[in-house]
Chains A and B, each alone.
Chain A
Amino acid sequence: MPRRVSERSTDGDDDDSKNRENVQYTNTRPCLFVSGGSYIQPVEDGGYCLLSLPHHIPASAAFANIPWSSSTTCAAQIESITSQGVVVTNPGASRCSVGDGSDENGGISPHSRQDFFDVDTRHDLNKLEEEVFGRFFLGCRLVDIFGAANFEVVQGVGRWTVDFVRKRRVEHKRWFVRAGIAHLIWYALARKRH
Chain B
Amino acid sequence: MRRRKFQIMGIYAGAILVVLVMGFPLYWMVKTSIEPPTTLFSPPYSYFPTTFSIENYRLLLFETYFLTFLKNSLIVGFFCTLITAVVSTLAGYGLTRFEFRGKKLIARGTLFSYMFPELMLGIPLYIIFDSLGLRNSYVGLVLAHASIGIPLGTWTMWQYFQIVPKSFEEAAWISGASRMKTLRQVVLPIAAPGIIAVSTFAFAFSWNDYTYAKIFQDDILMFTITTGINSFVERTAVHWGLIQAGSTLVTIPTLIIIIFLQKQLIESMAIGALK
User: Are these two chains actual partners, yes or no?
Assistant: no
